[in-house]
Amino acid sequence: MEPLTSGIGRPFGREMTRRDALRLAAGLGLSFTLPGLDLRAAQSRGAERPKSLITLWMQGGPSQLETFDPHPGKEIGGETKAINSTIPGMQMAHLLPQTAEQIHEMCVIRSMISKEGDHERGTYLLKTGYRPDPTLIHPSLGAIVAHELPVAGVEIPRHISILNSQWPGRGGFLGDDYDAFKVLDPRQNLQNMKTQVADARQERRLKDLDVVERTFRNRRRIQSDATLHQETVRRALTMMTSEQLKAFQVEQEPKEVRAAYGDTPFGAGCLIARRLVEVGVRSVEVTLEGFDTHTRNYEGHVTNTAILDPAFAALIHDLKQRDLLDSTVLLWIGEFGRSPKINPLGGRDHWPTGFSCVVGGGGFQKGLVIGETDAAGKNPTPSDPIEVHDLYATILKTLGVEYDKEITTPIGRPMALCKGKPIDRLLV
């Protein structure tokens, strides 16, 4: 079955008060109001507080040197300057000032390593934890979360991809039902989700369809069951009438909140991701394109971080204020980093060794920094290297997934959901 498609730092050592939050918001330009009950949005998820995953996917491979691992004044540093962050002793690129004020809520890993330096193969590895295998398709991390953590009462897809991703998450051997539901433009709500005819006429159409389906099934039961047509129609109709679709309606948010995320598709996507986890969606991926900077790398990152910075900072802040961060793992990552050497076109090339990621919430430590890359750019191996599959085993563990569980694939091959081992020092 084809997937459904639609065309500041705070004082350390004590809890943030409402006054702290207002002061912090003002200092960051996050001028949205903090209405009482809205801050407890986690209550809408129920007492059990099921966990979700939000992935901010940086398509093309963001440069660690222009984001979370700058080396100003060095030959490899380029034009990027460093600023202090709210993690004591950690500096990051001056292109992310708002994120630098929120980063104490997260962990920064500066020593991710991968064995794939091609975009398609690198994306496959970074989305699944496995290198490509011609004999099967592995499920993405988001598909695993949706498959292993079912949640009652969610009438919309539990695995959602927002904005154009060249290789969105697949269900792989878990089945096409776990492919990401794709939302190409988050500012246009969802297309084709409302009937174009009056309710009475729609009801007559559905009754006529039921007659045709029953007639077909009486004669070809096996073929009918194989198509899953009736189940697909039922699920589509449930989704079309669900109140949970309002999660996509960012216009319901106060103007100040929307402005804090930034007036961009990516900003709207991050805001929708927060709204989706409130209604129980298990996994949301929001894509920001434009990081394949083989030419004019610095200029490209200036453009992209202007989009990224307010959205990332506002999302961390918003999840924290609404009591959702402890039940949401937030992951910032791309398929690899960029080379220390600046090429003759002012760009940086693919670099699968020693790139950065940010992860936090959902049981992760706060303010932890792991690894570092060689400031001279001569040693390709960073200190304290972290493998992708070990990071993903850690994420699955804190989400409550049996990360090493074996699944029998459709061809009878046993496969572990993740081959890594959790990095316990990352977890609380």
pLDDT tens-digit readout, 120-132: 999 999 999 999 9
- Per-residue pLDDT of 141-197, as tens digits, reads 999 999 999 888 888 899 999 999 999 999 999 999 999 999 998 887 665 555 555
pLDDT at residue 34 in the model: 35
pLDDT at residue 7 in the model: 36
**Axis crossing angle, helix 141-148 with helix 388-399, rounded to the nearest 10:** 20
Express as a percent the part of the chain with pLDDT over 70.
76
Residue with more model confidence, 296 or 1:
296
Q: Give phi and psi for 313, each to the nearest 5.
A: -60, -45
Tell me, yes or no, whether 21 and 117 share the same domain. yes
| 76-90, 132-146, 229-243, 308-322: segment of lowest average pLDDT | 229-243
Tell me, yes or no, whether 347 and 368 share the same domain. yes
Q: How many domains does the chain have?
A: 2
Report the distance separating Cα 267 and Cα 258, nearest Å: 8
Tell me, yes or no, whether 143 and 283 share the same domain. yes
**Domain-ending residue, one of 247, 272, 288:** 247
Band of pLDDT at residue 88, cut at 50, 70 and 90: very high
pLDDT at residue 209 in the model: 55
pLDDT at residue 309 in the model: 98
The single-letter code of the amino acid at 47 is: A
Report the distance separating Cα 172 and Cα 179, nearest Å: 8
Tell me, yes or no, whether 90 and 164 share the same domain. yes
Both tokens of residue 332?
Answer: 């910032």
Report the distance separating Cα 400 and Cα 50, nearest Å: 9
Q: Give phi and psi for 226, each to the nearest 5.
A: -65, -30
Tell me, yes or no, whether 51 and 162 share the same domain. yes
Mean per-residue pLDDT for 206-235? 57
Tell me, yes or no, whether 169 and 234 share the same domain. no
* CA-based torsion, 227, 231, 235, 241: positive or negative: positive
The whole-model pTM stands at 0.83
Both tokens of residue 421?
Answer: 């081992």
Band of pLDDT at residue 242, cut at 50, 70 and 90: confident
Q: What is the CATH number of the domain that holds 308?
A: 3.40.720.10
Report the distance separating Cα 242 and Cα 128, nearest Å: 31
Tell me, yes or no, whether 243 and 152 share the same domain. no
Q: Which residue has the tokens 């997937």?
A: 3
The single-letter code of the amino acid at 86 is: T
Tell me, yes or no, whether 422 and 377 share the same domain. yes
Report the distance separating Cα 103 and Cα 363, nearest Å: 16
Helices (H), 220-281: 221-227, 229-240, 255-261, 265-278
Q: Mean pLDDT over all residues of the chain? A: 85
pLDDT at residue 152 in the model: 83
Q: Is residue 28 pLDDT above 90, yes or no?
A: no
pLDDT at residue 154 in the model: 87
Q: Is residue 296 pLDDT above 50, yes or no?
A: yes
Mean per-residue pLDDT for 306-325? 97
The single-letter code of the amino acid at 236 is: A
Residue 419 burial class via C-beta count within 10 angstroms: exposed 0-12, middle 13-18, buried 19 and up: middle
Contact 1, 170 (CB under 8 A): no
What does DSSP assign to residue 150? -
H or E segment to which residue 202 belongs: helix 199-219
pLDDT at residue 173 in the model: 97
- Per-residue pLDDT of 284-293, as tens digits, reads 999 999 999 9
Tell me, yes or no, whether 19 and 166 share the same domain. yes
| 188-192, 252-256, 267-271, 348-352: segment of lowest average pLDDT | 188-192
Tell me, yes or no, whether 230 and 261 share the same domain. no
Domain encompassing residue 143: 5-189+249-426
Q: Give phi and psi for 74, each to the nearest 5.
A: -100, 160
Tell me, yes or no, whether 229 and 310 share the same domain. no
∠ CA 387-390-393 to the nearest 5 degrees? 155
Tell me, yes or no, whether 116 and 65 share the same domain. yes
